[in-house]
């Protein structure tokens, strides 16, 4: 049976999971949940994920899993190759640390429902998102510098890259200064050239608006 991924083209959390599925060559079907229309709060999506977020994956009829890092960890256990975690236990733990810094400490602050609650104007929402992405990525730059190679952790694409690249993509959207984060910028440029990253990128999703 093919997995069903409930996602949105521009959702950074969805991109993490799409990229993992591409890397592990797992076939899946994409079902668009339009965040701007509020589809994440439809009765059907709340049934799948009561907090009203995407991504959600259906791994067998009636069995859904949400939270991108839980989905990626499940994929890692179910489809171990290529691995998205290094073998060394300490480095493995730091991969998880950086993934959670982004998934727990940066992305939630720019969620649509948070932006709507913190400011009434697009200008105010953009300034808030930019401030917290800037703050968070400055910390990630510092934390990753000693570990980084072509990717966040040496020469292996890990779960940390799956979190980082969509976050840097959003940093560009909000006008965050990236030249001051040379490690992150280098990793972003390298990853964006890989086939799986490109295939899972927002603009290449069927629900992305035609340009
Ligand atoms: N911690 C969750 C966060 C999921 C999340 O915040 N998803 C966003 C899109 S990236 C969303 O559904 N937002 C809906 C909203 O703000 O109403 C994960 O990693 O999957």
For residue range 158-210, what is the model confidence (pLDDT) as tens digits?
Answer: 999 999 999 999 999 999 999 999 999 999 999 999 999 999 999 999 999 98
Distance CA 175, CA 127 (A): 10
CA–centroid distance, residue 88 to ligand 1 (Å): 30
10: Cβ below 6 Å to ligand 1? Answer: no
For residue range 13-68, what is the model confidence (pLDDT) as tens digits?
Answer: 999 999 999 999 999 999 999 999 999 999 999 999 999 999 999 999 999 999 99
Q: How far is CA 39 from each of CA 123, 127, 211, rounded to the nearest angstrom?
A: 25, 26, 23
SS3 167: helix
Closest ligand 1 atom to residue 66 Cα is 20
Count of Cβ atoms closer than 10 Å to residue 25 Cβ: 10
Q: Which of 56, 111, 116, 125 has most ligand 1 atoms within 8 Å of CB, for mutation?
A: 111
110: Cβ below 6 Å to ligand 1? Answer: no
Sequence-distant (≥ 6) Cβ neighbours of residue 86 within 8 angstroms: 92, 95, 153, 154, 156, 158
State the virtual CA torsion across 69, 117, 122, 178 in degrees, nearest 10: -40
pTM given for the model? 0.98
CA–centroid distance, residue 53 to ligand 1 (Å): 4
As to burial, measured by CB atoms within 10 angstroms (0-12 exposed, 13-18 middle, 19+ buried), residue 78 is exposed
Is the preceding peptide bond at 55 cis, omega within 30 degrees of 0? Answer: yes
Q: Which strands form 28-32's sheet, in the order they lie side by side?
A: 28-32, 3-7, 56-60, 63-66
* pLDDT of 211: 76
CA–centroid distance, residue 204 to ligand 1 (Å): 20
40: Cβ below 6 Å to ligand 1? Answer: yes
* pLDDT of 36: 96
158: Cβ below 6 Å to ligand 1? Answer: no
């Amino acid at each position: 049976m093919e997995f069903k991924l409930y996602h949105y083209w521009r959702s950074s959390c969805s991109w993490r999971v799409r990229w993992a599925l591409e890397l592990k060559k797992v076939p899946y079907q994409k079902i668009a949940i339009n965040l701007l229309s509020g589809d994440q709060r439809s009765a059907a999506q709340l049934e799948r994920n009561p907090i009203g977020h995407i991504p959600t994956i259906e791994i067998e009829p009636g069995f859904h899993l949400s939270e991108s890092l839980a989905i990626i960890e499940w994929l890692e256990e179910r489809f171990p190759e290529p691995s998205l975690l290094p073998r060394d236990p300490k480095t493995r733990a730091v991969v998880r640390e950086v993934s959670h810094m982004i998934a727990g400490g940066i992305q939630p602050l720019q969620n649509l429902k948070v932006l709507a609650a913190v400011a009434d104007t697009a200008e105010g929402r953009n300034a808030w998102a930019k401030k917290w992405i800037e703050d968070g990525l400055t910390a990630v730059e510092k934390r990753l510098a000693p570990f980084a190679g072509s990717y966040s952790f040496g020469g292996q694409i890990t779960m940390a890259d799956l979190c980082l690249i969509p976050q840097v993509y959003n940093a560009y959207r909000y006008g965050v200064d990236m030249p001051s984060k040379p490690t992150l910028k280098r990793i972003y440029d390298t990853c964006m050239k890989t086939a799986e990253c490109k295939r899972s990128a927002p603009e290449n999703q069927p629900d992305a608006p035609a340009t």
